Chains A and B, each alone.
Chain A
């Protein structure tokens, strides 16, 4: 069924179709309409779930952590400072290996206060161990939410589904709403091996020593470092798992492809503009204009940022003349985080392209297509003289 709804409502419908059992959330712009919709689904009986209107984001994630530990499918959503307020809990959820799913409507972070879009909130959380998926449009939002629940419970790692605040959260777009029975066939019930159970008591997240230690039967149990090593291994393996899940999704719903990157006119391209999120669609317009002027340029949107799909990215970018990375976030005191990651991935490649970095759109600064065109024209004209420092687009100093 085709419907026209906001990005937040697309996410809410995805959560409903995924039959989340416990939902906890605290209001924050621009995420709020998503959880408002979910509370409506629960109150009206359309979704059989517990909706907990908690008193903070820290508690929202606490509810999800505890509910997931008890064996329920848990969901929350947030933005910006709300995400940062739950940072301790983000780390706890992943350390406890709980398949919580969370939507983040990306927003700039204070101080000073801003409610508008950039991606500093989620990019700043790239190292906590959550899987990060970024959607470019409403179809990808709803599909990603459903896939996220399956990925999370398959690999026992929480998943963030991120989309640009306002640009996607509050705009209306047509998309295909998956059928409930197909979602049920795609996404099995959450049935964890270990959960809080008086019939089979266990003590979860206990203090764990630096070294391995025998249990009461004499079997060696891992120390902290082994547990963390396993997380890293499982995250790397999650890349392949996500391909499998994406293929299954395509079989059921007819929508699929490369789940890591989305390429546009890249096949014969010498230059590739790279970004995360909805900006990739605006860059397509610029690429079309430049293609008319015979510039061989394409766009690559990065849809999974953690675990970092380095092979897919190197496969797409190695051998190009120049890669131009546009970012709505910054590793302050250094460079764009995606830019640094892409350079790192390309380091061992024999056919290294030049890589340029532009910072733009922070705190919702309007991104003008002319500015993108000027930036790309400059990078394509003189790819060798750019330097390693990011350049800022649209500054009015």
Chain B
């Protein structure tokens, strides 16, 4: 394993123009900027409708310095397959083919095409930025919205169901590399994307991505909120490399230590304000039980 990247040796090359259309405090703009630094120039991006479509700009202006094909919502995994197939047919072998989608585009409408691509062993990197609802259309619930969260389609009681565990679903395809990361830990994200570029076959990285307007917190707290999700043990940073699971970075550091209570995370965001004590207690128990297995 190479030494972890630090702020001192992180590449200064940028592939995202400043002044793009992301909201202030957008977690995705961190994830995207850092992710593209790790991918480098020889990359083709495949993007379904999502906040990223907006961030990338309106024709004829684009905020990304990499080739990108915008594709239909449900087709991302298959479209990435098609780009890779063309690259093989045209004998262009040194290109990263990278699908970049939101959580709804990945775990809900896009899961069939992604599952197909994983099963076929397509040589693609798939990055899901998980802001835990359909943010681009105005904060509707998704399969990856956590339980109890207020969204515009769960406006009073909050979402009744638990969050879909998409990285585990992808890991069940037994692909070579599955990782989670967080916008609040950009260097950990950078190293995971970088590692993904050195592996062939399907690679999946699921990135927890705080969203100030969607989660109802002040834009200056994006990193704080993202870190709390990790420090409370709700969202864990890990890698599953060839089937071997290991916690990484800030989550690894938590092993054997006392985690912050989940209520501390919930209290930072307006989206959790209808949570009752029962659910908070249940979630704390679930987190404790999960960590007991680590």
Contact = CB atoms under 8 A, between A and B. Distances in A.
Name which of A59, A72, A205, A207 has the most chain B CB atoms within 10 A of its CB. Answer: A59
Interface in A177-214: 196-198, 200-209, 213-214
A312 B259 CA distance: 78
A62 B95 contact: no
Contacts of A33: none
A215 B60 contact: yes
Interface string B54-76: 10111111101111111110110
B112 interface: yes
Contact of B41 (A68, A92, A198, A209): A198
Contacts of A207: 53-54, 58-59
Contacts of B57: 203, 206
Nearest to B115: A55
A52 B116 CA distance: 10
Interface in B71-97: 71-72, 74-75, 77-83, 85-90, 95
Contacts of A24: 78, 81-82, 85
A42 to B, nearest CB: 11
What 5 A-B pairs come out closest when comparing CB atoms? A66-B82, A55-B116, A59-B78, A62-B75, A70-B86
Given A22-B89, A201-B67, A203-B57, A89 B82 contact: no
B160 to A, nearest CB: 30
Contact of B116 (A59, A67, A209, A215): A59
B43 interface: yes
A74 B60 contact: no
Name which of B46, B56, B67 has the most chain A CB atoms within 10 A of its CB. Answer: B67
Contact of B69 (A64, A205, A208, A221): A205
Interface residues of B, number: 45
Nearest to B57: A206
Name which of A60, A197, A198 has the most chain B CB atoms within 10 A of its CB. Answer: A198
Contact of B62 (A74, A203, A214): A203
Given A63-B78, A198-B41, A198-B43, A58 B113 contact: yes
Contacts of B71: 62, 65-66, 92, 205
Given A54-B78, A67-B86, A205-B71, 18 more contacts: A22-B85, A52-B82, A55-B113, A56-B78, A59-B112, A60-B78, A62-B72, A66-B71, A66-B81, A70-B83, A71-B90, A72-B90, A196-B67, A198-B67, A201-B65, A203-B57, A203-B67, A209-B59
Contacts of A67: 82-83, 85-86, 89
B69 A209 contact: no
B119 interface: yes
A15 to B, nearest CB: 14
B67 A50 contact: no
23 contacts: A22-B82, A22-B85, A50-B86, A63-B85, A66-B46, A70-B82, A70-B87, A72-B90, A88-B72, A89-B75, A92-B71, A197-B67, A202-B67, A203-B57, A203-B64, A206-B53, A206-B60, A207-B53, A207-B58, A207-B59, A208-B59, A213-B61, A215-B61
Nearest to B65: A201
A44 to B, nearest CB: 17
A387 interface: no
Contacts of B64: 201, 203
Given A55-B113, A55-B116, A72-B85, A203 B90 contact: no
B61 A205 contact: no
The binding surface of chain A is classed by DSSP as: mixed
Given A55-B112, A206-B57, A207-B53, A71 B86 contact: yes
A122 interface: no
B69 A53 contact: no
A92 B116 CA distance: 21
A69 interface: yes
A22 B60 CA distance: 29
Contacts of A197: 67
B13 interface: no
A213 B58 contact: yes
A397 interface: no
B196 interface: no
Name which of B74, B77, B116 has the most chain A CB atoms within 10 A of its CB. Answer: B116
Contact of B75 (A52, A58, A213): A58
B47 to A, nearest CB: 9
Nearest to A219: B60
Interface string A152-164: 0000000000000
Nearest to A205: B70
